[in-house]
């Protein structure tokens, strides 16, 4: 895994429940190993409920409420999957705006599995090449993305992967892109931040 995140804060945005636990914990550990400081950002305070497929797993404490979070405080954004998690996030205007603001700021974003649903809502996938859990392929294409069935896809600071089997490649590329810093072409499809 290349790239040092020493002293850099990385936001992990999740809803209150429905997060696929391994898609949160593995990238989190990768950020820590690279010297970064991961922070759990969610729609409300307290803790969030992770799942292993459909079974409840662990809970995790929230560090920051998304409505109070500032994109300028973070070097990058990680969006874990799980079916319910991104579906809930895309209905929260502050969460959608937070995602869109990372693109407007040209900062790296990494999304795995079902997480690109939130990217669609943020209006940032048109003209971008990415992957996701296969059931999102039609949704992404309809939103203007070029969907491809690959382990990990990197497009100007946007890192995407299909599912937990791709986590090794996803984590390595997420750390690498965040370590590289801003990507000038990251915001090419981003809307204004007046989302929601």
Outline where the chain has alpha helix (H): 21-33, 84-89, 93-104, 116-122, 137-142, 167-180
Give the pLDDT confidence score for residue 192 in this predicted structure: 38
Distance CA 16, CA 159 (A): 23
Residue 130 has φ and ψ, to the nearest 5°, of: -155, 175
Q: Is 113 a catalytic residue?
A: yes
**Between these two residues, 54 and 81, which has the higher pLDDT value?**
81
Give the pLDDT confidence score for residue 196 in this predicted structure: 36
Residues 86/117, Cβ–Cβ less than 8 Å? yes
Give the pLDDT confidence score for residue 188 in this predicted structure: 52
Q: pLDDT band at 187, cuts 50/70/90?
A: low
Q: Is 52 a catalytic residue?
A: no
Give the pLDDT confidence score for residue 194 in this predicted structure: 37
Whether residue 185 is predicted with pLDDT greater than 80 in this model: the reply is: no
Q: How many CB atoms lie within 10 A of CB 1?
A: 14
At 106, list the tokens.
Answer: 């040209």
Among 52, 113, 171, 183, the active-site one is: 113
Among 52, 53, 114, 171, the active-site one is: 114
pLDDT digits (tens, 9 = 90+) for 138-170: 999 999 999 999 999 999 999 999 999 999 999
Give pTM, 2 decimals.
0.94
Residue 89 has φ and ψ, to the nearest 5°, of: -60, -40
Kindly give, in sequence order, each residue whose CB lies less than 8 Å from that of residue 44, ignoring residues fewer than 6 positions away.
16, 62, 65
What domains appear along the chain, each with residue ranges and CATH number?
Answer: 9-112+164-180 (3.40.50.880)
Q: How much is the CA Rg of the chain, to the nearest whole Å?
A: 15
Whether residue 1 is predicted with pLDDT greater than 50 in this model: the reply is: no
Whether residue 5 is predicted with pLDDT greater than 70 in this model: the reply is: yes
């Amino acid at each position: 895994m290349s790239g040092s995140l020493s002293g850099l804060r990385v936001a992990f945005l999740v809803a209150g429940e429905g997060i696929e636990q391994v898609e949160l914990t593995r990238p989190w550990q990768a950020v820590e190993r690279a010297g970064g400081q991961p922070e759990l950002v969610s729609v409300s305070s307290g803790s969030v409920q992770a799942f292993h497929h459909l079974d409840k797993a662990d809970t995790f404490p929230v560090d920051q409420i998304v409505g109070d979070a500032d994109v300028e405080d973070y070097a990058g954004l990680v969006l874990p999957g799980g079916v319910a998690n991104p579906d809930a996030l895309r209905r929260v205007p502050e969460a959608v705006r937070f995602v869109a603001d990372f693109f407007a700021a040209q900062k790296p974003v990494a999304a795995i599995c079902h997480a690109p649903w939130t990217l669609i809502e943020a209006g940032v996938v048109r003209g971008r090449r990415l992957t996701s859990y296969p059931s999102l392929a039609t949704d992404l294409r309809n939103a203007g993305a070029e969907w491809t069935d690959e382990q990990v896809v990197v497009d100007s600071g946007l890192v995407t992967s299909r599912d937990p089997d791709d986590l090794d490649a996803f984590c390595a590329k997420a750390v690498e892109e965040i370590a590289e810093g801003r990507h000038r072409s990251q915001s090419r499809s981003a809307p204004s931040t007046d989302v929601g």
